[in-house]
Amino acid sequence: YPCDCVGANRPRNDDCEKTYSKGMEVRCSSLLQLKFVFGSCALQALDLVDQHSVTCLTAPSGRKAFQVTGGSGRLYTCFLSCHYCPCPAFAYSVLRRNDGLVCKHILAVYLSQAMAATQQESVSDQQMSLLLSGTMDP
């Protein structure tokens, strides 16, 4: 990232205008805002975006879903219109403790879409059904 504002133990400069360019320019101040709202989840999500971990799956019926490759290599299927992720962090931090709104995978989906970094892939209708139901272990 462009400077040490994010994550470093030094006074934060909210007006830092240094930019980070990877597909599109992102201002350091924007990254700071992201970290303020989402905490450590923000950096982890940005890492996933950098690694091109988010894929939009499309079936012939038109149904879509997002698939995110986690740090361990496991694939997580997330929905388009509402927040759900099968990862343990979503179950614990979001649903159980109400510590956050999203996990890093869901945040990575939003960021990836905003930064035009989402991969595209086609699947069959039946494969989509299996992925949405969680029956097919990606």
Partner 1 sequence: MADILSLVFRTFMSQSDLKKDVKVITPSPTTCSTLVVGDHSLSRSVLLLASVIAAAEMGIKVMFFTQTQIQSLPPSLQRCVPNLSPESLKKIKFSYPRTVEELLQQVASLHEPTNTSPTPPSLIIVDRLESFLSGPGGSSQSGFHPGERSCAAHIAALLCDTAAFLTQVLEQRGSSSAPCRIIASFLSEVNAGGDPSGTDPILDVLDRYFQVRCTLDQDSGYEATAAAVQEVWHIYLSGRGITDPSFTEDYNDRPGVAQEWKLFIFPDGLMEFKLV
Confirm if 105 and 78 have CB atoms less than 8 A apart: yes
- Bridge partner list, 77: 67
Of the pair 51, 126, the CB lying nearest partner 1 is at: 126
Total interface residues for partner 1 by CB under 8 A: 27
Give the dihedral sign, CA 136/100/71/64.
Answer: positive
Q: How far apart are CA 113 and CA 136, in angstroms?
A: 25
The reply to whether 110 sits near partner 1 by the rule CB under 8 A is no
Of the pair 39, 60, the CB lying nearest partner 1 is at: 60
Residues that bind partner 1 (CB under 8 A): 59, 61-63, 79-84, 86, 88, 90-92, 95-96, 125-126, 128-130, 132-135, 137
